[in-house]
Structure 1
Amino acid sequence: MYYSSINAFQWIEYSSITHLAVKYYQVSTLTVDWTSIVYMALYAPLFVPSSYVIDKWGLRTAGLIGCTGTLIGTSIKVFSIGRELFAVVLLGQVIVAASQTVIICIPPKIAATWFKHSELSTTCSLGTLGSQLGCAIGFVLPPIIVQDSEDPAVLGHGFKILCWSLTIAMVPVTAAVLWYFPDQPPLPPSIAQAQLRAKKDKEEFKTSDFFRSIKQLLMNKGFLIHMVAYGINIGVFSAIGTLLSQFILQYFEGAHEDAGRMGFVMVITGMIGMVLFGVFLDKTHWYKEVTLCIYLFSSISIICLMYSLEWRSKILTYISCAIVGTFTNAYMPVGFELAIELTFPSEESTTTSMLLMMTQILGVIFAVALGYLNLMFGCFWSLCSQSVLLFIGTAVTAFIPNDLRRQEAFKRNPEMKKNSMHGSRLVFIE
């Protein structure tokens, strides 16, 4: 959670102060947008290697790559203080974004490896809180640290403090991961994990099995439908998060810190929603019903944000941002869990990676398109397009079959029973 939050902080680090980055580095707003878009653009080509690393070499290797990569990328940006050095900013962002492709797939794998069945949804939600916390802080701190000024030296000093602070913050957690980040707990949390370990000790990981598991996921119609719906929802959230500061400043001139606080509220309420819905899923197992409900309210929440901005009411805008965050952010772990139900007993990390690949592809498309729509038609109509996309995603979600394979497997097998996934691993069910 610690290093995931620092990595996610940098997704929104420059977008939350776009106007200051434009002024200091003398680049366009669309160029600054790419500091966030690169996070999404890199995921599509890197999701297969990231999943392969986690499946073949385990959590410790994935943790080391994600953490040390984040430290390297963050350190590079220390050398980006100079009005002509925006290319160095992008280089650092590329390395940090590449590291994120490993980090973001780890929570479901940790949940499955370290915790018992009744705790999976809650643990997955808690595991994703790190990235959400980082996003929240990323909206608030940059406008406070980098003060607006007509003097480039003042702006440069703010960016210097920001970059050095992140680098220093990464050092202790990198040391902690190097010294202690175990691949698995000393004792398995369940009989299922005990048997899985015994099987892995006897059989080596096979690359052909890994790619066969991906092929099986692509043949799962329910998962493919959910993957499209999931990609639309998180893609819209990513696009709006990237341009939120620009939207706020169009209606509230000079409200730079308010824009950051609104983004912070959006993410924090989402974190609360993630935990609450995660606990609710563990208690009820209403995966499709909760997913559909959250999706519908996500669509409505964007409409609330549109009109709050149009009415130029800061209070309503704060409330609307909270509503948007509660449902769009909370959708992330709920969608993870529904995907794992639909694809059981496939590897959690592979399933998650494919879900996120779609979100990043659509996120890039939506963010770039939203930037141009904002320039051509303004905030209201650009946000309207995102609401329409979410309503389409709600309709797509309704067609997902309520095929809860993991729940059915546990009901059918009260005693330990071995099940094969025809490929990357064998899963034992308690």
Structure 2
Amino acid sequence: MVSMDEDPSAREFLTTYNGAKITPIANRDKSLLSEKDVEKTRKAEEDATGAKIELKVYKRRWLQLGLFFIYALSNDPHWTQFSSIGKTISRYYSVSPTTVSWTSSILQVTYVVMIMPVCCMIDRVGLRWACLIGSIGISIGSWIIFWSLSPDRFVTVVLGQLVITFSQVFSLTGPVKLVALWFGPNQVATATSIAFFGGPLGIGLSFFVTRMILRNHDNVEDIGRELSPVFLSAAAFSTVVTIALFLFFQDEPLVPPSRATALQVTHSKVEDTRFWSTVKRVMTNKSFFAVWNTYGMGYGLFSTMCYMLNPYFLDHFENGEEDVGRLGILVVIAGYFCSFTFGIILDKTKQFKELGVFIYIFLLVGEILFAVGLRMEIRWLMLTGFMIFGLFAASYGSLGFELVGEVVYPELEDAYAGLLMFGNQLYGGIFSVIISSLLRNYGEIVVHGFAIAVLSLGLATSGFTEIELKRQNVEKHPNEGYNVDTPLKPLKS
């Protein structure tokens, strides 16, 4: 291995970053580091000096991905578990439908308030403990909700839901961090699409199974008997997932899977990459800000339209609750294959910008068909429009994180992923307020006009934003230096 003292250029790289003086890795007391950190530091030094670096893609990565997938599967359904059967829950607990809908809305509020502090905590405790803390909290909240199965215990339901929503924040940056730590450069987008789709699949299955089991009986006691297996199965499944994570889920591999990840190790060892310092740099990145707005508008609008789908549909079509349930599971299943396909295409072509524009075009097409179908009360057209809209919105979820990962590289995943999710929830909350107000005061035509205007703005932003693929530059030009802030041959998309 090349010594740091033998290579002045390597020492200069490690002692100067963004104009700030930092402590060289080579001068650090390695006796204070764990065995894993010593190995990571040695690899980082080799990378910085231009020496041959050892990379390894572990077979265990698929087990890691599978465990996270089932964790997300048990996690996200709690978001909509009450609002999806709002009328039945309203009757059982003798509360208003608006009160029931707040069991979903508090998640958006919690995300906006807690996302950045929790991401800072995740940066300190690591991926494994973040997932365990989240899963334990979801299990506890699920059992609280199961014990609240009585018409006079809605306050207990809210308590359980609050515990769950706080715990769910710990899973937000998981897919990005997991994939960056375990997967090589040719599988990153595919793995990200799989990791992100556990949650939507869980929501879709929850819609389907709950509507299969639960009926809006005249007798409240009959509703309680059917709610019991729904709540019990959710609590038991969350507990099993927690045990599986504790026994089998690991934090990160000993050897990095890619050159890009190896370079991040170097930055993670210096003071300038502390969480809040990273947040400041990311927020001043113009490309990040453009992607942040584009992603927030598209995904935030999708989450709002999902929330409004039930009242939209029932206002135009009688006995449409079962159709909404079928549509939800269809969008999720088809969206999974669409997202997975786009992940493979992205890994093969690296056409981030082009794929983003393509997806936004179909978001706009889907919304127009959805609006026309509702206005003319053509059921098949409305369902087709929403399915197109949902398919491409689901696909944009994983693409957005990969795109941001490129433009802000080599910054920490926790920081930029947290900011991206913050934007998603912020836009979702703003759109919920605006659309509810427009629907109440002006009708659905104005609402759809607003949605089309938002998507048109997002499409224009996607088309005119210059994207510098910094992470790809490291992989494609490994011998041209590692100062990714000023790449010698920047790749454009």
TM-score (ref. length: structure 1):
0.90
Q: Is the 8 A contact 1:18 1:245 kept in 2?
A: no
The equivalent position to 1:244 in structure 2, one of 309, 316, 333, is 309
Identify if the C-alpha distance between structure 1 residues 418 and 208 changes in structure 2 by more than 3 Å, giving closer, same or farther.
Answer: closer
Q: How does 1:245-394 map to 2 (within 5 A)?
A: 245-394=310-459
Q: Would you say 1:158 and 2:226 are equivalent positions?
A: yes
Identify if the C-alpha distance between structure 1 residues 86 and 70 changes in structure 2 by more than 3 Å, giving closer, same or farther.
Answer: same
Q: How does 1:17-416 map to 2 (within 5 A)?
A: 17-190=85-258, 193=261, 203=269, 209-414=274-479
**Shift in Å, 1:118:** 1.1
Within 2, Cα distance between the matches of 1:191 and 1:226?
Answer: 25
Q: Is the 8 A contact 2:263 2:410 kept in 1?
A: no
* Greater relative CO, 1 or 2 (CA 8 Å, sep 6+): 1
**Shift in Å, 1:395:** 2.2
Identify if the C-alpha distance between structure 1 residues 411 and 397 changes in structure 2 by more than 3 Å, giving closer, same or farther.
Answer: same
Q: Is the 8 A contact 2:264 2:411 kept in 1?
A: no
**Shift in Å, 1:94:** 1.9
Kindly provide the amino acid, as one letter, of the partner of residue 151 in structure 1. N
**Shift in Å, 1:178:** 1.6
Q: Is the 8 A contact 1:263 1:321 kept in 2?
A: no
Within 1, Cα distance between the matches of 2:266 and 2:478?
Answer: 20
Deviations 1:59-85 (A, max 9, x none): 111111111111111111112323333
Q: Is the 8 A contact 2:407 2:469 kept in 1?
A: yes
State percent identity of aligned pairs: 31
Within 2, Cα distance between the matches of 1:385 and 1:214?
Answer: 31
Within 1, Cα distance between the matches of 2:97 and 2:140?
Answer: 26
Within 2, Cα distance between the matches of 1:294 and 1:62?
Answer: 32
Identify if the C-alpha distance between structure 1 residues 380 and 147 changes in structure 2 by more than 3 Å, giving closer, same or farther.
Answer: farther
Kindly provide the amino acid, as one letter, of the partner of residue 7 in structure 1. N
Deviations 1:349-406 (A, max 9, x none): 2211101101111112222433444444555543443232222222232332222222
Kindly provide the amino acid, as one letter, of the partner of residue 274 in structure 1. S
Within 2, Cα distance between the matches of 1:118 and 1:407?
Answer: 10
Deviations 1:184-212 (A, max 9, x none): 13543245556766886xx4x85972111
Identify if the C-alpha distance between structure 1 residues 96 and 206 changes in structure 2 by more than 3 Å, giving closer, same or farther.
Answer: farther
Kindly provide the amino acid, as one letter, of the partner of residue 390 in structure 2. G
Kindly provide the amino acid, as one letter, of the partner of residue 244 in structure 1. L
- Unaligned residue ranges in structure 2 (runs of 5+): 1-68, 487-493
**Shift in Å, 1:301:** 0.6
Q: Aligned to 1:84, what secondary structure does the other structure show?
A: coil
Identify if the C-alpha distance between structure 1 residues 243 and 346 changes in structure 2 by more than 3 Å, giving closer, same or farther.
Answer: same
Within 2, Cα distance between the matches of 1:13 and 1:29?
Answer: 14
Within 2, Cα distance between the matches of 1:412 and 1:228?
Answer: 30
Within 1, Cα distance between the matches of 2:375 and 2:452?
Answer: 15
**Shift in Å, 1:121:** 0.7
- Unaligned residue ranges in structure 1 (runs of 5+): 423-430
Q: Is the 8 A contact 1:281 1:287 kept in 2?
A: yes
Deviations 1:329-351 (A, max 9, x none): 11111111111111111112221
Within 2, Cα distance between the matches of 1:41 and 1:13?
Answer: 17
Q: Is the 8 A contact 1:146 1:159 kept in 2?
A: yes
Kindly provide the amino acid, as one letter, of the partner of residue 175 in structure 1. I
Kindly provide the amino acid, as one letter, of the partner of residue 266 in structure 1. V
Give the total of aligned pairs: 418
Q: Aligned to 1:82, what secondary structure does the other structure show?
A: coil
Q: Is the 8 A contact 2:74 2:241 kept in 1?
A: no
Within 2, Cα distance between the matches of 1:211 and 1:59?
Answer: 18
**Shift in Å, 1:47:** 1.5
Q: Aligned to 1:329, what secondary structure does the other structure show?
A: helix
TM-score (ref. length: structure 2):
0.79
Identify if the C-alpha distance between structure 1 residues 412 and 195 changes in structure 2 by more than 3 Å, giving closer, same or farther.
Answer: closer
Identify if the C-alpha distance between structure 1 residues 51 and 370 changes in structure 2 by more than 3 Å, giving closer, same or farther.
Answer: same
